[in-house]
Amino acid sequence: MKWFSQRALVLALVTVVPFCFAQNVSSSITGVFVDPTGAALVNVEVTLTNAGTGVKFTTRSGADGGFSLPNLLAGRYHLTATMPGFKTHETRDIVLTAGEIRSLGQIQMQIGEVRESISVEAVATAVQTSSAEKSGVITGSQLNDIAVRGRDFFTYLSTIPGVVDNFSQRRETASPDSIRGTFINGGRENQKNLAVDGVTALDTGSNSTIHYQPNMDSIAEIKVMTSNYQAEFGRNGAGVITVITKSGTRDFHGSAYYFHRNESLNANHFFNNRTGTPKAPYRYRINGYSIGGPVYVPKKWNTDRSRLFFFWSQEYVGMRKDYGTRFVNMPTALERAGDFSQSRDTNGALIPVRNPATGQPFPGNIIPASLINPLGQKMLSFFPLPNYVDPDPRLLYQRNFRSQYSGAYPKRQDMIRIDANFWPTFQFYYRFVRDKDEQDTPYGMWVNGNINYLLTPVRFGQPGKGHVVRMNKVFSPTLIYEFTYGKSYNRLYFKPVDESLMTRDKVGNPAQWFKDDNIRENYAPNIVFGGQPANPVNFSWGNIPY
């Protein structure tokens, strides 16, 4: 029955593998055994043990003394080699990064009894000798020990040689835009790739955003390949960022954290003080926890805690995002009534209003009531009245309306990973990440179109999810089957928070030249001003709803 189930599983994998595409994050360890004279040793028994989970992998050296242990997950390993007539050789703390081909070089076995042993502690190789790639690694210890403001792991990328951050992203928190602003070896910003556990998490619709970003407590390591990497890491030529998530181990481990920032700890800046603008809310709360360990029933099942493991992590972000202050020129109360006697350009000169029939300025720069179009007047009345007088005389005729907005921006992330080693020749893991990201943005983003004042915010959601399944089956020392399947996606949506403020009747129900009965929303048309006065208000929403 066991043979049948394994065979059925392999056949199922062979059937679906043509539909699956993922980058390789498996690693391997190689080496050559020799005796004190330098001659190759054949049939040395090699056992490699994962220090975290206790999973063992075995092989034997070949005719040239060489051995290879492929399809290994990133982690810390111990190697033990035994052969009759020679002392047992142990190499401890071999740190293996994702996608690495780690060569231990020549391993010299010493003559003696098997019960005698020689222990060697592995050291990280300064130069990659088994492939031509240039890369750097950010370890889990660095993520834990080096504090960053917004818990955005892209902040650490600038510690890798060849990676530059132009600080276009403030990195107050992790976000779908976090990948922006980083450049690898001079490549373009939108030509790098992000993979999580070997599955691309890049939003290929934009090439500049990501579906989700694992929180820092759920990351085992980050590898940045800057150049000369293998063809399997193709698609984007300006670098590959590979994130490996944590798995459970034989012992229980956990973490909990709470970070808090508030405007009460900040001073107001010079430009706000000059215009009399109050200090904007600056409120960030980031808290979360993680726990991982073995799944077992004491004294009944998995008693050695080496078969089944879990890792679970959640992070919550609560914040009020400051969307900045906007200044525009609104139609004044006099202008709405046709009186332009006080309308001036940026130099303070009167802006003449001419009679279209004669081409001459109206007397007193005032339009007679009989010539005012009621629909045009209704459109002007749609906009709020001026609310601001600039204290700087040079800006008096450039802006008379001020908008300032800070809105709630909650985020949440859940991640779970299950690792299983039910048979010595078969390993499996499944990982799921879910991000919730929703904000109310008033202006300044592509979802707002070109509107430049506060009317009603747009609720913009970017929820992302990601799955990955990896299976590894060893049939023989020369036949190994690895299967990886992943799905990564997001679904964007945005819509005005209060649609009643922008309905067509608010601007006088102008006629629709190209009416579309399939559009249910009854939004007002875009209203744009050109010419004088400077810096006019703009009611232009773009493509809503999405």
Tens digit of each residue's pLDDT (9 = 90 or more) over 531-543: 788 899 999 988 8
- pLDDT tens for 202-218 read 998 888 899 999 999 99
- pLDDT tens for 16-64 read 333 344 567 788 899 999 999 899 999 999 999 998 888 888 889 999 9
User: Residue 380: is its pLDDT beyond 80?
Assistant: yes
Encoded amino acid at 478, one letter:
T
Cβ atoms 104, 77 nearer than 8 A: no
What are 354's strand-pairing partners? 361
pLDDT of residue 15: 38
pLDDT of residue 316: 96
Q: What is the mean pLDDT of the chain?
A: 87
Band the pLDDT of 124: cuts 50, 70, 90.
low
In 3D space, the residue among 58, 90, 91, 55 whose CA is nearest the CA of residue 73 turns out to be: 55
Average pLDDT over residues 116-142: 71
Taking CB atoms within 8 Å and a gap of at least 24, the contacts of 151-155 are 151/215, 151/216, 151/259, 151/286, 151/315, 152/178, 152/213, 153/213, 153/214, 153/216, 153/219, 153/222, 153/243, 154/178, 154/179, 154/181, 154/182
Task: Output the DSSP codes for 226-290.
Answer: EES--GGG-S-SS-EEEEEE----SS-EEEEEEEEE-GGGSPPPHHHHHHTPPPPP-EEEEEEEE
In 3D space, the residue among 313, 309, 416, 376 whose CA is nearest the CA of residue 527 turns out to be: 376
User: Residue 286: is its pLDDT beyond 80?
Assistant: yes
Average pLDDT over residues 303-326: 91
| Residue 347 CB neighbour total at 10 angstroms | 7
Q: What is the pTM of this model?
A: 0.79
